[in-house]
Structure formats: structure tokens, C-alpha cells
Structure 1
Amino acid sequence: MAALRTELELPGPYPGDAVRDAEAAVDALCLPAYDLTAVDFVTIDPASSTDLDQALFIETDDDGGYHVLYAIADVPAFVAPGGPLDAETRRRGQTFYAPDGRIPLHPEIISEGAGSLLPDQDCSAFVWDFRLDGDAGVTSVGVRRARVRSRAKLSYKGAQADLDAGTASPLLGLLKEVGLKRVRLERARNGASLNMPDQEIVQLPDGGYRIAAAPQLPVEDWNAQISLMTGMAAAKIMLDAKVGILRTMPPPDERSLHHFRLQTEALGKPWDGEVGYGEYLRTLDPTDPRQLAIMHSAGMLFRGAGYTAFDGTVPEAAIQAAIGDAYAHTTAPLRRLVDRFVLVTCEALSNGGTVPGWVRDALPTLPEIMAGSDQLASRMERMALDTVEAALLVNHIGQEFDAIVISGSKPQKENGNGSNGNGKNGNGKNGNGNGSSGIIQIADPAVTARCAGELESGTKVRVRLVSSDIATREVHFELVQ
């Protein structure tokens, strides 16, 4: 893992001048006069998280609607434009979650201290104030800086367990109610989500690693709906004012849709195109091998995401196709650079102010910064997963495993540029030799890899591990005849 950091030239320890800049900002922090510390905000995150960007409060309105307050960490309060900390965050772009420890966008004194919405700590936050109708549609929205205090740090697993047991707090009950209604609105605008089981590298107490694969919990989706709602509100505010930066993605092209439709027919759950692909994806069951293969194939429909900055004119391509509306990243400023600029822009516009010059000057540079940072993070995650998969399998060479084919056979390249490890994108080193190969998934350990042989998507097969090399991240299976 240390070698991986060096190979990818990931950011190292935070520079001293930037740390001193952060420490001075924490010491000089002046909390906003607008006081919302009486509001019972809570955070909902993975249990181990300490960089807490969002805190939530929901109550019902007398007219049958809802009042949602969504507090977002006030990172701009700690980052002086043009200072050493500002420069270092622009160099990093985002927090990198490496298996052997995260590489933070901001120094820990901010990301896990004064800037994090930790329980029982008075914090500065950008508070989004939503009024929703009975169907959870937005009727009004505003955002302003406020002093807040979270009451509790909830975990996704704990919140889901309370909801399932009927012992959840009224707030969690309302999150479920609003979340389900927002999902219905997502369907109505032809939004799409691809909730595949995640492969996550988990560090063990003894310093070792394992790979965990688990489906997304319902409460994660409901919580994400609040974030999506906020991102769409931010996009609307900026588009109305003709200044800002959006997260955009084009709709899938006809070739991709045609290929996906053929895949669904071959796998026994045809999509006829009469309903949107987003609605179709919601019907898929990841526990069914053939439908899991369809979900992997659907990745071709979610391509081309990027950032679009604008100032003075509205961009022609303003829609994030998977969401089905204009959208902006604004709810994770501790972990993602662009959110800081969106928050400052929206707060100014929402309250009749002007967008600061330092924000407008930065807008044209942000798409390239974020694109480079996203590419580096994706490469790190892929290579780390390949490394851990190889390590988990290195003592099992020659053993057989039950597997599911998630992508059928295709000819391997002679120059060794097929996929290795997780085999999701064909940029690995494994797969040298001639013949056919496909992508398989085994359950224990939770590994996705390339396998030689004639393979049919969505089928269960028996495979044998031929080789596993940690240093080169190469894993090779073959079909047992």
C-alpha cells in the first residue's frame, strides 16, 4: 500500500505552511450570529466517519408538508482565498480514501475537528432551509450561514436497524417518509440509480485487510435523496443567476442503449424501452446472478460525467442525465473542493449578495482540477482493490471456487492489456495469452476478476485460481471444464 502511494504520486503529509494557515483560521473562527443551536440536528454516516459534512433536521408542517433543514460544514470559514491552505486544497482536489488511511483534502484540525459537524460541538454551517409539499416537492428554498450543534452521530447500520425494529426516532421516520416520496419524484423525472453491491476494502485491527461486499441500505438511499435535493436546488439558484459550476452528464447514446437492450434480452430480463432505463434498473435484484450481470452491463449508460463552469450565460448542456435535472455538488465540502465554491455562490445569491471575485476567478479552473482528482481517485481505488484481491488469493492457487459470470467471454489481447483484479475496465495487466475470457465474481473472498474460457453472462460456473501476484496485481482464473 505504501508503494501504491508512491507509484501514483498521491499527496503526502500536509505542508507546514498550510497547517499553520489552518490552525490560525481555527483560532480566529467567529461563529455566525444567526443561532440554530436549539434545532435537533443529527448526522448519519458510516460508523467510522469523523469528517462529517452534513447534519439533518426534518419536521412536519401544519399544511401537511415538511420543513427540512440541512446543515453543511462551513469550510469556507477556514480557507482564506489565495493562502497556503487554499493552494494545497486546489492541488489535492478531494479526500483520497486509501485502504491504509485517508489522505484528507483539509488538515485534520479542520476535517475532523472544528470544521466537522461532530455532536455537542458548536459549528458554523451553511444551512439549507427547505419547505416541501405533501409529495415532498420543493416549494421554497434558501441558504444562509448559521451556528448549529448536532445532537447525535448516527450510523447507517444503526439507523436502519432502528427503522426495521420500529424503534427509530421521529426524525428517522420522517427521513424514510420524505426519502420514499423523493424516490417517486426521481422516477417521475426519469432519474436513474445503479445501486450495485459495493466492494470495500476494510482494514483489520491486526493491520491486515479484507474485502467486504454489501448492498446499499435503504436509509442510505433516503439520506442521499436529501443531498440530491440540495444539489438540484443549488443548480437552480446558480442557473437563475447565470453563474456557477454544475455536475453534468450526457444521456446515454443510442449505441449504448441498443447494446444494453441486447444484453437484457440475452440475460432473460428484457428491457423493451417502453419505460425509462432508470425505472427498469430499479426492478433489478442483485442477488439474482443474471440480474447482477445486467447491473454490471448498465455501467455503459453512466459515462461522461464532468463539471461545467459558467459565468454570464447558461450552458447548453446543463443536465445530469442520471439525476434527470440540473445538479451541483454542494454537500461535501470537507471532502471535495468544488463544493466550497458552490456553497459560497449559493449563499450570496440566495441572500441578494454578489458572488465574490475570488470565486468567479476560480470557476474556469475547477473542472480541470476536479477531473484530474477524480481520475486519480478512481485509479487508486482500482489498483488498491487489485492489490488486496491478489493478496487474499495468493495462498489459494490451484483451488476451485463457485462464481457468477458478470460479463461474458471476449478475446484476450496478446500484449497483456486485458483486465486484471477486478477487471472492470480493461486497464489491468492480466489476461495475456490467446483465447476467450470474461469477468467473474466469487463470494468468499469477495473478488471480481478475469477468467479464461467460454463464459456466458449471468451463469454460475466453477473456476480454478491459476495465479496471483501481489506486486503486479495480477490474478488469473480458468474455467473448470
Structure 2
Amino acid sequence: MRHLRLDTVAPDDVAAALARLRSELDLPTGFNPDVSAEAERTAARVAAELAGPVPDGVADLRAMAFVTIDPPGSMDLDQALHLSREDDGYVLHYAIADVGRLVEPGSALDAETRARATTVYGPDNRIPLHPAVLSEGVGSLLPDVDRFALVWQIALDASGKIADATVRRSVVRSRARLTYAEVQEGIDAGDASPLLTAHPMLALLPVVGGLREERERARGGVSLDVPEQEIEADDDGGLRLAFRSVLPVEGWNAQLSLATGIAAAQVMRRGGVGILRTLPPAEDRDVARLRRAAHGLGIDWPRDTTYGELLEVLDSRVAAHAAFMTEAMSLFRGSGYLAFVEAVEPSDRTRHAAIAAEYAHVTAPLRRLVDRFGLEICVALCAGEPVPAWVLDAMPELGAQMASGSQRASGYERGCLDIVEAAVLRGREGEEFDAVVVDTNGSASSGVVMLAQPAVRGRVTGAEVPLGEDVRVRLVRASVEDRTVEFALV
């Protein structure tokens, strides 16, 4: 989970509740000795390979000035970027950690990553997909060291449309580990800023990122600038929820990743083999529920405006807008993966509705299992070689493995938020709040409300719970231990 961060020491009962939740979801606490030993051997082998000459069949791109852009403190760096102009268009070089060199098919580490499927993020810890000696060491695209990477070369025309794309195994050397705030500050300061003096190609980031945003809007796609929720200590020693606004650079950077995923899907489709990330269109009932949430948060949503058009005018620096963006994530239900080994016809079944295009996960292999396999497919297809048998053998199970891992991660995310919301409201039992009923699940006497302030959801009961209407509720119970917030209609 990436949208809930604890900025203070967790009270004992909150820490205990988070630990209990991890246990209930059977989330691992570490790696077994066999996996750890294998990771150490792999790290030593890869370090020795990097210390020698560039292997045959591997491109030497160390002269290219890549940089990484991530949240502060990040060490599992999957992606590094380089932008340049070419004629009236642009070229994106996007380096992705070469996890295929770190995980031997059929090994103990391979089995462990298939069981985990994804890195799981919580407010007080992170449960990684790979041991840190790999994901934060020889596999991470850290600055000023040589690293194996799979480098995409994506040609974009003057409008930002993908004209051509290929990927190959390479050795790279990142020049800097930058944060979103550093890059935003440098771009805002202009050409004379120390950042753009050191890394002049970053001046193209808002240009290329902006063009890709325009293309996304034109094809009907939606980007959710979901703000990170930060848990802070309040003046009375309790906890409060605050939203950290999303910077424009985060959207531009995300567009480069999305462009790479779209390019990967195009490579897979041409080759007749691949695994696509899919998402069906939003259900009408979910859009209606989101409209009720907008009403409760005081957001004007005209009937002739789509949710995509509304999201474009919202500002994550406004607390109500930030809460709405978080709630809007519920529209993106039913996501999955479609593996194919022969040509499939384009349809809603093959597309990702939010991106409004066919798309593949290939940019986060240190943190997501399926990316390793998608990348190996693309490397083979671009080289005109057969897709490795171990990749093809894994494809029938990949979707189920990712679904299981994602379900655990989502359960942890929801459970963590329930714990924090209960901690924020405890001690305020009997207090009344303005709210809106956002869901009833067909019941006349119970449902779910969203408070206007703080932006908390909870169960509500009453003689008649009016769906979609403003209500006044009284807090009945806020239990950190039970992860429960309960209200009653006043």
C-alpha cells in the first residue's frame, strides 16, 4: 500500500492491531533461510558480473545520463529515465531493473516470489517481494553504480504518440536518486536551477509528460492523482489523518510508466503472446455511489460531466478533493490479467478501462511478480527469439497468483485504514458529525456513511437510512482492536 504513511510513533494498541492484522492475513515476516542464502549467493554473483566486462548480447548504456525519481527514502528503485529530442519528436529511454538476472526459474526464490506476488506496503512497515540484498542492493537502480537493466527505447512523435518501441538487455549507471519534490522544485525554478543544470534533460519531463496526459484525455483515459494519507500526531497526543497533495511531476512521471506499459502491450500483441492488465468499465451503481460521496464532501458534480472530466478539475491539495480521489479508486474494480499465446481480438476484455488502451505491467519487477514475465516476453519478441519455456509454462497461473497477492495487499490496506480511522475517532464517542449515506447494500436500516470532517467512512444504523442524503450521525463506537467505527443516525 502506498497511500497511508505513519509520520509518528504508533501508539501501542495501534501497533498491536497492525501486527494482528498481518498475522490474520498470513503476511510473511521475513524470508526463510534457503531463500535468504540463495539471495546472498545471487547478489555476490551479480556483483562479480558487474565488476567485469559487459557480457555478450548486453548493450553498454552507461554513458546515458539516467536518473530515478521516487518518494524520499526509496531504495527499491525499479525505473530510471532519460529523455531526448529527435527531429520534431522525442525519445524516452526507460530502464527497468533486470530481475530476470536475479531469480533463477525453479529456485527457492522463484517459488517464494510466486507465493508473495507483490510487495505489501503498510503505514509502519513494508513486506518486500524480494530480499533486500537484491531489491535494495544489486537489483536496484541506485546512483553511481553499474546495474543490469532492461532498457526500453520508445520513439514519440510531436504529439506524444508512440511511433516505435523496443527493449533490450543493458548495463546502465544512474546519475542521481531524486525525489518528486526535488524535481518539482527544480522544474519550477527554471533553466537556471541547479537541478536542470546538472540534468538538463529533465526540462523535457513536463513537455513529454504533458503530451501523454493530453493523449490520455483524448482517448478517454483517467489518471487518479490519489494523495498519500499521512498519519500525524495531533496537539492532544492522538492521531489525525492528513492528505499530502500530489505534485505535477508525479503525474508526468507516471505517464512515462504508462507509455512503457502501453508500448509493451503493443509488442505483445504483434508477437501474439503476452499478459495484459485488464479492467472493465465502471459499473453505473459505483458511479452513482461516487456521486453521493461527492455530494457529501461538498463537491459539485454536474450531471453532464463524466467522472474523468471531474477529476481533471480537482486539486489534491484540497482535503475534500483528496478524499474524493481516494474514494474514486473504488470505481476501478474487477481488474485482472489476460494471458494469451495466440492472437486475440481487441475488445473491452483486452483493454484497461481507466487507461483506455491495452496495457501490460512491465515497469515494477522488484515489487510485482508479473512484470518479470512480461519483460521476458518483450525482450524475446524484440530480439526475434522464442519466448523462454519457463515463461510460457508460468502464464496459466500468473493471473491467479497476482490475484491472490493483490487480495492480501488490498485486505491489508483496508484493514490498516480501519485501524487508523478508529484511532483518529476514539475518545469522541457521543460526538455528532455531518455525513452523507454513500451505501446501503439494499438495507433499509443500515449502511455506510462518509463524514465531511474528518474524511472517515463507517457503518451507520437507524430506523431508516436514506441513501444519498445528508444526515447527522452520532459516533457510537470506535475500536482500534476490532477495527470498527460505528455511527447511529441522530
* TM class, shorter-length: 0.7 to 0.9
Residue 355 (structure 1) aligned with residue 383 (structure 2):
no
* Aligned amino acid, residue 110 of structure 2: D
Q: Distance in 1 between matches of 2:420 and 2:337?
A: 32
TM-score, length basis structure 2: 0.83
SS at match of 2:222: coil
TM-score, length basis structure 1: 0.84
Q: Report what 1:51 is aligned to.
A: 76
**Distance of aligned partners of 1:50 and 1:293 in 2 relative to their CA distance in 1, 3 Å threshold:** closer
* Aligned amino acid, residue 129 of structure 1: Q
Residue 388 (structure 1) aligned with residue 417 (structure 2):
no
Q: Distance in 2 between matches of 1:436 and 1:258?
A: 15
| Candidates 191, 207, 212, aligned match of 1:177 | 207
Q: Cα distance, 1:410 vs. partner?
A: 4.2
* Aligned amino acid, residue 276 of structure 2: L
Q: Report what 1:12 is aligned to.
A: 29
Q: Distance in 2 between matches of 1:219 and 1:281?
A: 17
**Distance of aligned partners of 1:458 and 1:136 in 2 relative to their CA distance in 1, 3 Å threshold:** farther
SS at match of 1:282: helix
Residue 240 (structure 1) aligned with residue 270 (structure 2):
yes
Maintained 8 Å contact 1:328/1:342: yes
SS at match of 2:344: coil
| Candidates 328, 338, 344, aligned match of 1:314 | 344
Larger mean Cα displacement after TM superposition, 300-309 or 362-371: 300-309
Residue 41 (structure 1) aligned with residue 41 (structure 2):
no
1:62-101 alignment, distance < 5 Å: 63-101=87-125
Q: Report what 1:106 is aligned to.
A: 130
* Aligned amino acid, residue 33 of structure 2: G
Give per-residue Cα distances to partners, 1:143-199, cap 9 Å, x unaligned: 111111111111112222222333352333211111111000101111112334343
Q: Report what 1:467 is aligned to.
A: 477
Q: Distance in 1 between matches of 2:478 and 2:286?
A: 33
SS at match of 1:174: helix
| Candidates 93, 107, 121, aligned match of 2:145 | 121
Q: Distance in 1 between matches of 2:242 and 2:217?
A: 30
Give per-residue Cα distances to partners, 1:87-113, cap 9 Å, x unaligned: 000010011112331111001100111
* Aligned amino acid, residue 453 of structure 2: I
**Distance of aligned partners of 1:477 and 1:177 in 2 relative to their CA distance in 1, 3 Å threshold:** same
Q: Distance in 1 between matches of 2:229 and 2:293?
A: 23
Q: How many residues are treated as equivalent by the alignment?
A: 450
Maintained 8 Å contact 1:290/1:457: no
Larger mean Cα displacement after TM superposition, 23-32 or 372-381: 23-32
Residue 223 (structure 1) aligned with residue 234 (structure 2):
no
Q: Report what 1:419 is aligned to.
A: none
Identity value in percent = 47
Q: Cα distance, 1:394 vs. partner?
A: 2.5
The structure, 1 or 2, with the larger RCO (C-alpha pairs under 8 Å, 6+ apart) is 2
**Distance of aligned partners of 1:306 and 1:390 in 2 relative to their CA distance in 1, 3 Å threshold:** same
Unaligned runs of 5+ in 2: 1-17
1:34-433 alignment, distance < 5 Å: 34-61=59-86, 63-166=87-190, 167=193, 168-169=195-196, 170-200=200-230, 211-253=241-283, 268-272=300-304, 277-285=307-315, 298-299=328-329, 301-314=331-344, 317-399=349-431, 405=435, 407-408=437-438, 410=440
Q: Distance in 2 between matches of 1:175 and 1:272?
A: 33
SS at match of 2:147: strand
Unaligned runs of 5+ in 1: 415-433
**Distance of aligned partners of 1:142 and 1:252 in 2 relative to their CA distance in 1, 3 Å threshold:** same
**Distance of aligned partners of 1:263 and 1:73 in 2 relative to their CA distance in 1, 3 Å threshold:** closer
Q: Distance in 1 between matches of 2:290 and 2:123?
A: 33
SS at match of 1:72: strand
Maintained 8 Å contact 2:227/2:326: no
Residue 23 (structure 1) aligned with residue 40 (structure 2):
yes
Maintained 8 Å contact 2:293/2:450: no
1:441-452 alignment, distance < 5 Å: 441-443=452-454, 447-450=456-459
SS at match of 1:151: coil
**Distance of aligned partners of 1:12 and 1:258 in 2 relative to their CA distance in 1, 3 Å threshold:** closer
